[in-house]
């Protein structure tokens, strides 16, 4: 057992690909790759850099010695220069041109942007997978009536599938926010100490055209289409706010859906997957606790709170930059992505195996529907020649009597039996079964589901063809 703290994201929840995305290995390899890009671009634009120097940098790109860099940082108190020194030891010929003209944020911030881009590319297919699996669920149960709830009180009927579409709609908004954030990403590029590119202007003897070209070349090599036109020492921390806001929004969506599922599980209408060997409670052996949905809610709350960190950090970046962003961002950005990843892994597992209990749902409908059907009964009596006001009073009295049976005596709702026993309602008794058919209370819900999936869901999913997760998700713990 480890004798020091380890993040639950690393040990329990997040995927290997996301953990690697925020690993030291990827981070410092990316630093070295950025130094290679810079050297190549500077050489191409005429600086005295040789093919041998570039080749030496490339050959040692993955020759990391993290222990040596750690020891060097203890001496220099500067992480970037520590890695420059260690890289230089392996690249004797190229040592003089490593990091030429650059500031620390050249590698630090540009690496963060690459990591953010790659993190979004990991998350978006998982969001699409959740949407796809929920859409299949919605289509399957689009016509199954269920009690709607407003104020957590029984309301007009909807369908199981229509309710799922409400969850999907929120996830579609998350996909849009994350996709927009991905599309809007720009590279910091090659900007120098305070963003003026003064050091590079000196290197190129005042040739602005070459400085501009250097920025474009490195940006292209890193896989970005554009760069920030202006920045201080760092890329704008407002970008972090946009990214974490989109991820926090995903947390809000997941929390709402999983809270609904937890309530439905309490009502025994819908359950998340429950494995044969799974134990619900150490004391109460019969229990089937919605632990996956509870985990999603727990992770979601943490994800939502991270937004404040990003916003507050952006708010206090004085002038061209301050360093009080660094420690906070190390935690906030990584945890936002690792948390979102862990959340989506659990969600994919939940939505691929939801279990619906139609008979329980039907029983709950039957307990409430007689009260909800009173207006339909009144309308049917009026059509049969009755007086609306007289019928309303009859129904009111019978409803109060039936309500007392339910609330005071704990008995079943016997309103229908009372109506059948009242001769006043004789004209509609032969049609009473049809009047009380739950399918007549769900409006356009089934067609709304099909239209929604066709018009709004499928076009989004088409972007992720071949990228979604097509196999069952197995949770580690």
For 150: left if phi > 0, alpha if psi spans -120 to 50, otherwise beta; the answer is beta
- For tokens 């959740």, name the residue: 130
Per-residue DSSP letter, 98: T
- In angstroms, the Cα distances linking 58 to 24, 63, 407 are 19, 10, 78
- How far is Cα 289 from Cα 278, in angstroms, rounded to an integer? 10
- How far is Cα 301 from Cα 343, in angstroms, rounded to an integer? 11
- How far is Cα 111 from Cα 188, in angstroms, rounded to an integer? 10
Respond yes or no: is residue 281 known to be catalytic.
yes
- How far is Cα 92 from Cα 72, in angstroms, rounded to an integer? 17
Using alpha carbons, select from 45, 31, 97, 33 the residue that is nearest to residue 215: 45
Write out 356-391 in H/E/C secondary structure.
ECHHHHHHHHHHHHHHHCHHHHHHHHHHCCCCHHHH
Using alpha carbons, select from 366, 372, 362, 311 the residue that is nearest to residue 336: 311
The residue annotated as part of the active site, out of 226, 281, 326, 411, is 281
- For tokens 């949407």, name the residue: 131
- For tokens 């040739």, name the residue: 207
Respond yes or no: is residue 229 known to be catalytic.
no
Would you please indicate which residues are annotated as catalytic (active-site) residues? 151, 281
């Amino acid at each position: 057992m480890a004798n020091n703290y380890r993040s639950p994201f690393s040990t329990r929840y997040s995927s290997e690909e996301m953990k690697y995305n925020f690993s030291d290995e990827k981070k410092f390899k990316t630093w070295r790759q950025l130094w290679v890009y810079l050297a190549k671009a500077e050489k191409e634009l005429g600086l005295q850099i040789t093919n041998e120097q570039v080749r030496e940098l490339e050959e040692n790109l993955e020759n990391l010695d993290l222990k040596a860099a750690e020891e060097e940082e203890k001496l220099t108190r500067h992480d970037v220069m520590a890695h420059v020194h260690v890289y230089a030891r392996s690249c004797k010929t190229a040592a003089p041109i490593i990091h030429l003209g650059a500031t620390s944020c050249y590698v630090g911030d540009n690496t963060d942007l690459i990591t953010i881009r790659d993190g979004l590319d990991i998350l978006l297919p998982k969001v699409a997978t959740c949407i796809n699996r929920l859409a299949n669920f919605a289509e399957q149960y689009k016509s199954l009536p269920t009690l709607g709830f407003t104020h957590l009180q029984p309301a007009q009927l909807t369908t199981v599938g229509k309710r799922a579409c409400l969850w999907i709609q929120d996830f579609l908004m998350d996909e849009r926010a994350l996709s927009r954030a991905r599309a809007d990403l720009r590279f910091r590029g090659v900007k120098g100490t305070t963003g003026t590119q003064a050091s590079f202007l000196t290197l190129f003897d005042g040739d602005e055209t070459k400085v501009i070209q250097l920025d474009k070349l490195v940006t292209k090599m890193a896989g970005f289409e554009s760069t920030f036109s202006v920045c201080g020492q760092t890329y704008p921390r407002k970008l972090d706010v946009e990214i974490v806001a989109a991820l926090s929004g995903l947390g809000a969506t997941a929390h709402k859906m999983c809270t609904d599922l937890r309530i439905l599980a309490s009502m025994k209408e819908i359950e998340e997957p429950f494995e044969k060997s799974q134990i619900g409670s150490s004391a109460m052996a019969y229990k089937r606790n919605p632990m996956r949905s509870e985990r999603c809610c727990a992770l979601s709350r943490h994800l939502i709170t991270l937004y404040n960190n990003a916003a507050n950090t952006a708010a206090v970046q004085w002038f061209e930059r301050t360093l009080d962003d660094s420690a906070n961002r190390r935690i906030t950005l990584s945890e936002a992505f690792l948390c979102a990843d862990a959340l989506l892994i659990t969600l994919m597992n939940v939505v691929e195996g939801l279990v619906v209990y139609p008979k329980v749902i039907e029983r709950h409908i039957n307990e409430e529907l007689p009260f909800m059907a009173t207006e339909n009964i009144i309308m049917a009596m009026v059509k049969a020649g009755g007086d609306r006001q007289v019928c309303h009073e009859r129904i009111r009295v019978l409803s109060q009597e039936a309500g007392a049976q339910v609330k005071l005596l704990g008995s079943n709702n016997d309103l229908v039996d009372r109506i059948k026993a009242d001769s006043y309602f004789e004209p509609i008794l032969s049609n009473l079964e049809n009047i009380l058919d739950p399918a007549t209370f769900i409006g356009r819900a089934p067609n709304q589901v099909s239209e929604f999936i066709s018009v709004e869901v499928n076009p989004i999913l088409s972007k992720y063809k071949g990228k979604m997760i097509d196999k069952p998700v197995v949770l580690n713990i």
